[in-house]
Amino acid sequence: MKDETIQKEENLKLSTNANKIHIIGSNWSIAADQWWCSGSGSQSEPYIIQDLVIDGQDQYDCIIIENSTAYFRIENCTLSNIGSLKAGIKLVNTTNGLLINNTCISNFEGGNYGIYLFNECGQNQIIGNNISNFENGIYLLNGPSENVIEDNYIHNNFHGIRIQGSFSDYCEDNNLTNNIVFNNSIHGMWFTRIRRTLVDNNAFYNNSGYAINSGESFFDTISNNILLNNSNGIQITLSNGSVISDNYIQNGTVNLFIGMTTYDCIIKGNRMYGGDYGIRSSAWDCNFTDNIIRWHSTCGFQILDKDHNYIYKNYFMDNVLHAEDQGIPAITDNYWNNTEIGNYWDNHSTTDADSNGIDDNKYTYIWGIGTDWMPIYGNPFHNGSAIHIDGDGSSGITWQYASTRNWCSGWGTENNPYVIKDLVINGYKKSNCLEIEDSNVHFRIEDCTLMTDHITYTLYFTALILHPLLIRRQLIDIFSYRAVKVAEWAETIA
């Protein structure tokens, strides 16, 4: 056969036996001569393999690309009946690939993969694929780095996405965004020996095990994900320097588990509702802040015998037990407040004589040894009404009081300004939506929707104003002319 002759003479492999494709070498010219491939391999004109239907006959890989640096695209292919230890699409030591809008499905013989990247695979994009019935839907093994995994439907596998580095070759700088991961029978995503991985804006539901399970992971970011009705939510172990922020997690047995030998992590701005536990932690030197922990049937936040964690400005509501600290008296030192603020506990509100937003009495209902010496006073959540901040507190609340509320963060410094964000305020023809006066601190008003009428202003600043920054405002006025004028005026101030 022509392909066999070229394979021997050029040291290339190209085979379409059993409807499979196998390309070895950085020279794609042989493939480009086939009816199923076009292009030149440049960035502007990549090789394209598209619209193929390939049956692996329960024995073979469908498409293999090895040792390639050419630009290529595999698109709109249907790859089925992949064999054991085989893959729908397999890349080995290959870069510059775009795998887009393919369907990979198997009979689930075990040990097989929908899309498989092995060894030094980098700068590949895996986008918009539908992958089901594999041991690992997408599998990166032994070093693939700087790849993008985005907008895929990954379902009914053992593991949805598996990334596994080796002791000598971690997987680094991979980005996983906007994927929908559901009905996987072990984990939605499972990571081992990774660095600087971004897991952002994905949706997980009905996965067994953990939706996200990460071990031996360093400096990763897990943010803005939605996790619904998984057996468990997020777990990280043997990790440091990672950030888990702004995730919505509901109805896991354990919504967030920070496991052994984990330290220097930030757990911030997560919303956890329902299930047995909100957070369970065996970590140390971690910061837990701005988390909402609600409706847990066993415990909202349980610390398991580790120390030197800071837990502050979290919101505990409607849990059977809000918190438990299993530390050893006089040995462990977890801190349930920092020097400025503690947490909000819905079963504790006594007095605030100096109106600084901090309850005058400590919170002692933490099972075990914990005490919150600076619990938040009153309801910290915004109810849609107008806000008036006065620097000296003579005619409105102070920035210090505002900073104890759920709707205001930061410390008013140049590097960490006060931030009022994501509020919807209606003046109801009675008041300014947001009024700030006699203020000389750094602050930012961001992504707020402010509604008023033709008489009052939506934003009002008087006296000394230093360093204000308003970004992405949405101003809604009953009279459009006034809305334009208010918007123009606010821009001149910013």
185: Cα within 13 Å, side-chain hemisphere: 10
Residue with tokens 């066999």: 4
- pTM reported for the whole predicted model: 0.88
What pLDDT, on the 0 to 100 scale, is given for residue 449? 87
Q: How many angstroms separate the CA atoms of 374 and 340, rounded?
A: 8
Residue 430: count of CB within 10 angstroms of its CB: 12
Torsion sign, CA atoms 331, 334, 337, 343: negative
> What's the confidence (pLDDT) of residue 463?
42
Contact 255, 233 (CB under 8 A): yes
Amino acid identity of residue 391, one-letter, is G
Residue at 6: amino acid letter: I
Q: Do 235 and 242 touch, CB atoms closer than 8 A?
A: no
Contact 143, 195 (CB under 8 A): no
In which residue ranges of the chain is pLDDT below 70? 1-19, 109, 330, 332, 429-430, 453-494
In whole angstroms, give the CA distance from residue 328 to residue 306. Answer: 9
383 CB-near residues (< 8 Å, 6+ apart)? none
Three-class SS state of 492? helix
Question: Which residues make Cβ contacts (< 8 Å) with residue 121, sequence separation at least 6?
Answer: 91, 92, 93, 94, 95, 140, 143, 144, 147
In three-state secondary structure terms, 300 is strand
What is the model's pLDDT at position 111? 86
pLDDT for position 333:
86
Give the sheet arrangement for strand 474-477, strand by strand. Answer: 424-426, 449-452, 474-477
Q: Is 254 exposed, middle or buried (CB count within 10 Å of its CB: 0-12, 13-18, 19+)? A: buried
CATH tag for 2-368 (out of 1.10.10, 3.40.1180, 3.40.50, 2.160.20): 2.160.20
Helix, strand, or coil (residue 311): strand
pLDDT digits over 435-447, tens only?
898 899 999 999 8
Query: What pLDDT is attached to residue 289?
Result: 97
375 burial level (CB within 10 Å; 0-12, 13-18, 19+):
buried
DSSP state of 34: S
Task: Return the domain boundaries, the chain.
Answer: 2-368, 387-493
Residue 481: in which H helix or E strand, if any? helix 480-493
| Sequence-distant (≥ 6) Cβ neighbours of residue 71 within 8 angstroms | 41, 42, 43, 46, 47, 96, 97
